[in-house]
Structure 1
Amino acid sequence: MLWATAGVITLGFLVALQIVAHHLGIPGPITQQAREVIHAPKSGFLLYASMALTMVVLTWRQRLISLGAALGIDLVFLTVRWAIGAGLPEDGHPFGNGALWVVLGLAAIALTRRTGPDRVLLLKGVGLGLLLVTGRKTGDTWLLITSQTLPVTLDPYIAMADHALGNPSWLAGRLLEAGGPVAEHTLDAVYAQLAVAAVVVALYQLRDVAAERRFPRHHLVRTFLVIGLVGPAVYMVYPVVGPMFAYGPDGGTWAAADLWPNTLPPISTPYHLPFDEITPRNCMPSLHTAWATAIFLHTRRGPRGLRVAGTFWLVATLAATLGFGWHYGVDLVAGVVFAYTIEAGLRTFDRGWDRAGLLLVGYGTTVFVALLAAYRFAPLEMARYPWLAGPLLLLVMASVVYAYQRLIKLWQGVTVPAPRTEPQPEPA
């Protein structure tokens, strides 16, 4: 019942977003995904990652057959494109169509060749895989909508609030330049393939699905998708383009000034900054930070190698978001609070709306809203008193993290041991 409800809601949301995109004259998520059945995909890695998620419900023999079929189809597509002289778009990949064809083929097999629990399990696997790629297309459409419907941004407000943290994006940008091309290429790869990293963690969590014939109650894909669904809604009420655009060379004539990353923005009264209809308003909160935080949380109970990888991906993602000038420091603080709140909400839902979980969700939501309000209505005060505002920002973020850890311990039945007392002598 839950899967069916989620499917209906997702389909309704996609149709609504497709209609909005059509009225704005931009490609919607359904259109974009349908094109990749034939045209070169935007991310072949993501399509193969989605196929890997689907294959968690298959036996090893079926997985090998599916992988072979995907590679064979991709080889055919590559040969045909080469034969007719069809080049790739600037952001296209030469592979990935085969993976999408296999996922769609498994959906057809489930509907025509399977029955009962086997059909349901295979359809769940297909749905999980398609949700990953559809979530990516949905995000792309959201970004186009923000750029065309929000003519001004709040970057000057965020830049002022960021003084409370010492404007870390400016420092990180200079450090990344000093690190040279190796550091830049490494961080760029980490940032771009965040969804693939999430799939690796999810595959570990879902490794027993085929044997147990059921999905675990909670796994990373759920958190990843909810973050991607809820986050863009905040973009619509809090448009921010980031320091590289608002204060750097990529903003062109729309930039408030060409300051990033060498000159800090002066403390001055913030204002609404008009901006172009191309650059996405996708900074507040930092969803890459939220997703990397979710990966970190879901690797804590894995083997040592997975825990190390989760920590690396979080640190590298934070470095990339700041170093490339895509986010302000305060975006990251909001992203961490956002991720912990979403994760707590999903776990609380699984437990039947546990009271302690509901309190944490309410607290995390309150802190998140308070952060956004402070960035908007008190940025000058934060810039003028960084010795107070900076520690307060970090303290409220840490309080959400601490409350989440306490909640997990409570759910696991971990209690604080009672203080030891000296034995009393027996009465005479």
Structure 2
Amino acid sequence: MLTAWRSPRAILWTVAVVVALGFLIALEVAARHYGVAGPITNQGREVIFAPKSGPLLYASMALMMVVLTWRERFIALGVAVGIDVVFFLVRWIVGADMMFGNGALWVLLGYGVIALTRRSGQERVLLLKGVGLGLLLVAGRKTGDSWLLITWKTRPTVLDQYVATADHALGNPSWVVGRMVEATGSAGTHVLEWVYIQLAVAAVAVALYQLRHVATERRFPGHHLVRTFLVIGLLGPGIYMLFPVVGPVFAYGPGASGTGGVQWAVADLWPHTAPSIAVPHQMTYDDLTPRNCMPSLHTAWATTIFIHSRRGPRFLRYAGAFWLLATLGATLGFGYHYGADIIAGVVFAVTIDAALRAHDRGWDRAGIQLVTYGATVFVALLVSYRFIPLEMARHPWVFGPLLVLATASVVHTYTRTTKLWDPKAVPAAKPLEAQPELV
């Protein structure tokens, strides 16, 4: 047993757990410094108080259940629903906020205790991995909330004028799509809003298909959607800190979260009047609006859902395509992102997924080249938005196609390389023909 814990894989998992715990503690301390609760406190509150997102907690429990037998799954679901019914009745009686999800969190935590006290060997490891996968999705949401707090507290100035100027090269797509969404009325708005909010649930649906054989094979596949989803959420906010942007509905409209509303904006223009081309400047913004635009992580996540749904049945492939298109419509149509954010989000997602695939199969020349190329294009996009936005706006017939071609080249390289990595894409070798015997 001691030898097993000294194996390189066990040491790697131990280091990962310690780093993750240290990261959560650091975010908790940072949030407390600004006078609010951090991810650990917020998650702890949801054991008793109304959760922020019940569907997310049940989706997290569903991820954990991929390691259980069907009998155990029905028991776990029944216990979770039973606990939620009790909580729901108590909240209704005392007049508290109504939300479900506590039961799912209790089941997750309960199976963690079962893994440590009632399982041993590989069965314990497998169950802990399932519990960890579910809790990581939950913790990722809380971590993201704390990251957003840090962005608006530490980045008082934003770079929206630079991105909006560069966006002229793409034809100001947020303004165009914003008017289209406005014309669809409330029905179209509600659909896009639901898709935008429930993105993590869609990711879990694809992940459940990818992990459907875990219970029978007693192991996780080397690469799946949840890994990419979580890494994007971990690294993306770091880019927010380097390139703080609030979005067109805030910088060019009435969407400011802080006091004063539109007074923080350049002008009340979005979505009916595109901003004029002028020399951009950094601008001070309120202390409540997240600087969470560059890159668009919603686009990055939706892109990975689309990529990983390609191996699924027809319904899942159609759903993945719909979720990507609807997410693009929401991010642009609600004024949350510029077109430049969307392009950066696609390159960001493809590069991270390529890196995780390359790590899983062992780094080779093709993997190193793909990840290096994707990272180079991503950095080039950010640098161009920051330092040559005026030139991009004045020469849209040059820079517009360049931006699209650069993004398409990364996607094409990713597609071509991953097909070479896929053993199913390599034709089987023909059997050697029998040689005539020499007489």
Q: TM-score, normalised by structure 2?
A: 0.92
In the alignment of these two chains, the number of paired residues is: 411
- Show the 5 A alignment for 1:4-403: 4-86=14-96, 88=97, 94-251=99-256, 252=261, 253-403=263-413
Separation in 2, partners of 1:41, 1:327: 28
Structure 1 ranges of 4+ moved more than 4 A? 413-416
Partners of 2:373 and 2:268 lie apart in 1 by 39
1:202-225 residue CA offsets vs partner (Å, 9 max, x unmatched): 000000101111000010000000
User: What is the CA–CA distance in structure 1 between the aligned matches of 2:194 and 2:175, rounded to whole Å?
Assistant: 21
Shift of 1:412: 2.6
- Counterpart CA distance in 2 for 1:271 and 1:129 is 43
Q: Which string of whole-angstrom CA distances, capped at 9 and with x for unpartnered residues, describes residues 139-187 of structure 1? A: 0000011011100000000000000000000010100010011100000
- The alignment yields a C-alpha RMSD, in angstroms, of 1.1
- Matched residues in 2 for 1:316 and 1:125: separation? 30
Inter-CA distance 80–351: structure 2 relative to 1 (3 Å threshold): same
What is the distance in 2 between the residues matched to 1:367 and 1:84? 55
Distance 2:294 2:134 in 1: 28
Gapped regions of structure 1 (runs ≥ 5): 417-428
Shift of the alpha carbon at 1:4?
2.9
User: Given that residues 202 and 219 in structure 1 are in contact (C-alpha distance below 8 angstroms), is that contact kept between their aligned partners in structure 2?
Assistant: yes
Aligned equivalents of 1:328, 1:27: Cα separation in 2: 31
Offset, 1:380:
0.4
User: Aligned equivalents of 1:144 and 1:258: distance in 2?
Assistant: 25
Give distance in 1, aligned partners of 2:161 and 2:308: 35
Task: Please report how far the alpha carbon of residue 415 of structure 1 lies from its aligned counterpart in structure 2 after TM superposition.
Answer: 6.8
Q: Give the whole-Å Cα distance in 1 for the aligned partners of 2:322 and 2:371.
A: 27
User: Which 10-residue stretch deviates more, 8-17 or 373-382?
Assistant: 8-17
Shift of 1:410: 1.8
SS in structure 1 opposite 2:255?
helix
Which structure 2 residue ranges, 5 or more long, are not aligned?
Answer: 1-9, 428-439
CA offset at residue 117 of structure 1? 1.1
2:76, 2:415 → 1: CA distance?
A: 40
Kept in 2, the 8 Å contact 1:26–1:144? The answer is no
2-structure distance, mates of 1:343, 1:409: 14
**Distance across 2 between alignment mates of 1:51 and 1:301:** 24
Secondary structure, aligned partner of 2:271? coil
Give, as a single letter, the amino acid of the residue that structure 2 aligns with 1:325: G
Distance 1:85 1:260 in 2: 40
Matches of 1:315 and 1:227, distance apart in 2: 19
TM-score by length of 1: 0.94
- The Cα offsets for residues 117-136 of structure 1, whole Å up to 9 and x where unpaired, read as 11111111000000000000
8 Å Cα contact 1:286-1:332 kept in structure 2: yes
Task: Please give the per-residue CA displacement for 1:278-314, whole angstroms capped at 9, x wherever unaligned.
Answer: 0000000000000000001101111111111111100
The worse-fitting range, judged by mean Cα deviation, of 121-130 and 13-22 is: 13-22
In structure 2, C-alpha distance between the alignment counterparts of 1:178 and 1:362, rounded to whole Å: 42
AA aligned opposite 1:309: A
Cα distance, 1:27 vs structure 2: 1.6
Task: Give the whole-Å Cα distance in 1 for the aligned partners of 2:45 and 2:357.
Answer: 36
Whole-angstrom CA distance in 1 between matches of 2:95 and 2:414: 55
Identity score, percent = 69
| Amino acid in structure 2 at the alignment position of 1:14 | L
SS at match of 1:250: coil
> How far 1:10 sits from its partner (Å)?
1.2
1: distance between equivalents of 2:305 and 2:281?
36
Partner of 1:419: none
